[in-house]
Every structure is written in structure tokens, then in C-alpha cells.
A and B are shown apart, each in its own frame.
Chain A
């Protein structure tokens, strides 16, 4: 990579050729570095505002491998804390979600309020002799929180740029979904594990190429409508575009084709809503569905309205947490139909997603071979053929849908994060997509 070619990690990613070393998907030291350089630095998705509407409401999640309590305090302020007692480190919250004024650690009873502060410890007078300064031993706070369209993000790095700067033009992509209405999270998080390196799951978000083959059986089953042959035709000759944006983010979006859409379906009502159409503008209004990656590990699908965050669990495993968004204005039965459609499409038993997991775990298994790991993986599709289009209502877009530009944009960002000393050097070395793709 021309801008960071002195780094230790840039040589794993060959931007000009479109290749990536297998080692970055298996090496334990690289993984440990990722937790520091990427997951302790990037903005990470934590949850949706609507999941914690009232004082004391909390959801449990992760930032990298750190367990996190996303908690609305009694004043109504949202905070995020590492779920680890400051005394011996135990989890103080041992459930997935709920409402609590405080959590008491099960070990010795140190107790923390919904604003993260230590409010009590047994024996504070008799045993600590009042020498324990409670103001210094609150839960470890996530340095910064930001909200975009109801999606709460956090970063451990106080020097990180604003969430808006981090997302950049990706906000335009996220609005393909978030602009469809006033979105709220539906209850019932689907969670499962796959023995995959987190990056294989992330890069799949902008991998239009795999759809017609990996998900062929889902298409042929009739689940996606008809016998599936129309859809397969479309997948063979896809029309659409790719957005690459900000720090490693990307979108694959295909244009809607009238014959493939059930325009009377209540779930497609937003397509007939003039306010929504105005808000989206002609380019986004013409999309059928978009698959997106918010780097490093949030997948979004605008069709089923899914948000899936893939938490790393060691170099060879991820834990996926899948939440469906519904439009607040929709009737309950329409919201339920939206969730049902998402349940059927994605998740471990989803008609489409069930075929992804073993692909990623097999890629991961193959990344640790003593001999084979000297042979780079091929991400060269479309290399030297990246061309931008400039619609009036959109940021610059790549003119093809099936390519490996989005993946390479992600691995380029990966190397930038891994080599950067700090956020200011990361931001200083970062280049915009047109410049980066112009140098291939």
C-alpha cells in the first residue's frame, strides 16, 4: 500500500494486485494486535436506542472481547461500561437485558449504579476504614458514545474522530435502511457462533459474487419467490453499484427490477411513500436491497432490515448477534411480518444464511496451514477496472456490483488501523476512495 508501505502489517495486503495473506485470518499474535489496534480504537456498534427506552434499561453486548453493559442511567443518559468489577474483575451483570438500578458483584458485593459509579462495598467502614475512594473505582467507561439514526456506537479511544467523521459517506449507505422510516429494534436477538475469523464474515457483506452460488439452494427452494429462476437470471447479470466509504465501510446495492417485486406487499409500503422516496432520493429509491459493512464488524441488510454484529472470539471464532429493525409507524402485524421475513431469511436456520457459516469456517481452517499460508488469497476481481459514477444525489459510487473492491477497501483499512500509532496518524494517512482506487 503506497501510503503505509513501511508498516508491519501493510505487506499482508497487496492493494495493487488484490491479494491478502492467509496469515491474518489465523495468527494469534495478529489477532491480539487487532483487539488493540482495531477493536479498542474503531467505533463499534453497541445497540439501538429503542432497546433501552427508560431509566435503568440495559442491554449486554461486546466490544471486541470486552463484555459491555449499555445502560441508561436514572437521569436518562446513555452510558457504556466494561462489565467487570473493579475489585476482582468479575462480571457484575450476568444477564442479557433488563432493567436495573444497580448491579452487585456476586463475589464480594461491590455495587455499581446505572451511571457506572461504585456506590457501595460491604465493610467499607469496618474493613476498608473508609479508605476506599469510591469515586475512583467505578466501572470502566467506554470513552465516547455516538448515535447515528438510532444506532448507538462506542469507542474506547478518546482521540477517535466523531462518529460522523468515522462513518463519512457510509451514512448515505446506512440511510438506505434508516431512511425507510422511524426505525426501532424488534425484540428477540438471534445469537450464534461460527468458527470463522471475524474478517471472513465482514468481507462477505460486500461479496455479491457468492450469492448466486452459496445461496443457490435457498433461491431454488422457492422461498425467494417463484421457482427462483428469475432471481438466478438476475444474479447472473446483476445491475447495481458498490459504495466504498470512510474507514473500510462498504455497500453492495442492486437495482430493483419491477418483475421481481411484490409491490402490494405491506413490507414494501415504504417504496410507495412519497416522503420516504423524497428522503432517499432517486438513486437509493431504486435499490432493491443493500448489503453493508460498517467496519469492522457490523453487517446491515436493508431488505430484511437486519443488523448483525459479529463479535470476535479468538482468531477462529465469532459470535453473531442479529437484531431486526421495524418501522415504528407500521401496524403491529406489519412489524411482525417484517421480523418473520427476517427470521426466515437470515440467522443460523435462515433459508439463505445457513449456507454461509460453514464456508467461513472452512476458509478459516485453511488459513493456518504451514505451507498453504504462504499462498495469498485472491481478491482481484475488477482490479484495474474500478470506475466511479457520480449521481447527483449520491457520493461517488463504483459502477459495478460484482467486484472485490469493497473487500479490498476493507483490508486496506485493516492494514491502516494495524499500522497506525494512534488515531491522528490513522486519520492523516487515510485517503478517500477515488484517490486510492486511482492508484491501482
Chain B
């Protein structure tokens, strides 16, 4: 973009939308780090799906099989109901993998609107998730997320989150937090 003449109303709307999406995703991430899980859960639609397929290293030319497909092996394979079970689990008083709680930090970058379908839009983001717990336990996960966001009367909501991990073998004893 060069010069003020290029700043059309369309371009301005695009930038505002980018800002809206970025603020939404940064807010959403902060709810997890602040362990405000019910508010976080409310950002998902009732028909939401939350999915993190497994990944394998493949021969050159065979990369299409790198990520497992829906219905195959996955780390997360969750409906909204299961996400709510995860939150209930955390609040049960017996969730040992989060007792005491982990410290997490979500670094969300590279937010790009891939496609705007009107009521819904697809958004890609990079996530670096750092966790420490107990004395010295440390985990670092890197992934690309593709979110399907829906415009609702309450504002933006997530109706699908695909989490494409940059790992084949996770070096973590558990994933007891959210991506």
C-alpha cells in the first residue's frame, strides 16, 4: 500500500476487521492464561469442534498424509460438551495434572484472515504456548491454528478450532491446558 489515496473505505474496513479479530484472539488467549475457563468456554458456539490431529514425518512426496484426518488419531477431538467436561474436570478438586495449577503463556502471532464467508470467517494464527509447573517442569508447544469464527449477536464466537502441532512426538507428560 502506497500513499493516502490507497486508503479506501474497503481497505479501512479490512483493517478494522483485522484489528477486531486480533483483539478477539488475544482476549481469548488471555482468558486461558488467567484461568477464566468459563468465560473462555462461552466463546465457543454450541456446535463447536476443537481438534488437534496427530502428525507423522513422511517421505518427500508423501506429505499429504502428514496430519491425521478427522476420525483418526488426535490429541484433542472435542465437542463443546467435552470442552465443558474438561473445565468441570479442572474444577473437581481432583485434577492432579493441574493441581497445583500450571502457569501458561499464550503467544499468538501471525493472525491472518484466510477467508470471509460473511456470517463466518476462517482465521489462521501461530501459537507458541509456554507452560511451567511444579518446580522445574517446562513445556513449549508450537502450532498453527485455523479457527472458524462466527459472527453472532454476542460478538465473535469460535465454531471450529483446528490445531496443527509442529511436533510428531510430544515431549510432555500431559496436555492438561488449552491451545
Residues of chain A within 8 A (CB-CB) of B62 are 95, 98-99
For B96, give the chain A residue with the smallest CB separation. A355
A281 CB within 8 Å of chain B: no
Q: How many angstroms between the C-alpha atoms of A324 and B72 in the bound complex?
A: 9
CB interface residues, A 309-338, toward B, < 8 Å: 319, 322-324, 332-333, 335-337
Chain B hits for A213, CB < 8 A:
94
Interface size of B by CB at 8 A reads: 41
From known contacts A96-B56, A354-B176, infer whether A319 and B169 are also in contact, taking CB-CB under 8 Å: yes
* Complex: A19 Cα to B109 Cα, angstroms: 52
The answer to whether A344 touches B57 (Cβ under 8 A) is no
Alpha-carbon gap, A357 to B172, bound state (A): 9
Q: Which residue of the partner chain A has the closest CB to B68?
A: A188
Contact A351 B68 (CB under 8 A): no
**With A96-B58, A97-B58, A217-B95 as contacts: A354 and B71 at CB distance below 8 Å:** no
A193–B174 CA distance with the chains assembled, in angstroms: 9
CB within 8 Å of B: which of A353-406? Answer: 353-361
CB contact between B85 and one of A221, A353, A359 (< 8 Å): that residue: A221
CB neighbours of B3 from chain A (8 A): none
* Closest chain A CB from B58 CB (angstroms): 6
A191 touches B94 (CB 8 A): no
Given contacts A221-B85, A348-B170, contact A100 B59 (CB under 8 A): yes
Whether A194 contacts B168 by the Cβ 8 Å rule is: no
Are B168 and A354 in contact (CB-based, < 8 A)?
Answer: no
Query: Which residues of B in the span 123-141 have a Cβ within 8 Å of any Cβ on A?
Result: none
Nearest B-chain residue to A340, judged by Cβ: B77
With beta carbons under 8 angstroms apart, the residue of A98, A187, A221 that contacts B92 is A221
A220 is an interface residue with CB less than 8 A from chain B: yes
Please tell me if the beta carbons of A221 and B89 are within 8 angstroms of each other in the complex.
yes
Taking CB atoms, residues of chain B closer than 8 Å to A220 are 88-89, 92, 94
**Cβ-defined contact, B97 with A351, below 8 A:** no
Contact B172 A192 (CB under 8 A): yes
Q: B66-104 CB contact bits vs A (8 Å, 1 = yes)?
A: 001111111111100010011011101111110000000
The answer to the question of A173 belonging to the interface, with a C-beta cut-off of 8 Å to chain B, is no
Which residues of the other chain, A, contact B95 by a CB distance below 8 angstroms? 217, 355
* Interface residues in B27-72 (C-beta closer than 8 Å to A): 52-54, 56-59, 62, 65, 68-72
- Residues of A in contact (CB 8 Å), total 53
Q: From A99, A223, A349, name the one whose CB has the most chain B CB atoms within 10 angstroms.
A: A349
**Cα–Cα distance between A172 and B42 once the two chains are bound (Å):** 48
For A319, the closest partner residue in chain B by CB is: B169
B171 close to A (CB within 8 Å): yes
Chain B residues with CB below 8 A from A186, complex form: 72-73
Cα A222 to Cα B86 in complex, Å, equals: 9
Shortest CB–CB separation between residue B47 and chain A, in angstroms? 16
**Residue among B57, B95, B96 having the largest count of chain A Cβ atoms under 10 Å:** B96
Instruction: Kindly name the residue among B70, B90, B168, B169 whose own CB sees the greatest number of chain A CB atoms within 10 A.
Output: B169
Q: Cα distance A423–B104 when bound, in Å? A: 50
Are A187 and B73 within 8 A (Cβ)?
Answer: yes
Contact status of A349 and B71, CB under 8 A, knowing A98-B58, A191-B54, A221-B85: no
17 pairs across A/B with beta carbons < 8 Å? A95-B59, A186-B73, A188-B68, A190-B73, A190-B74, A192-B169, A192-B170, A221-B85, A335-B71, A339-B72, A343-B73, A348-B170, A348-B173, A351-B85, A351-B86, A358-B173, A360-B173
In addition to A95-B57, A343-B76, A349-B52, 14 A-B residue pairs with Cβ atoms within 8 Å of each other are: A95-B62, A99-B59, A188-B73, A190-B54, A191-B169, A192-B172, A217-B93, A221-B86, A323-B73, A340-B71, A347-B75, A351-B86, A353-B174, A355-B96
What 8 pairs across the A-B complex have the smallest Cβ distances? A188-B73, A336-B71, A357-B173, A188-B68, A188-B72, A221-B89, A349-B175, A343-B77
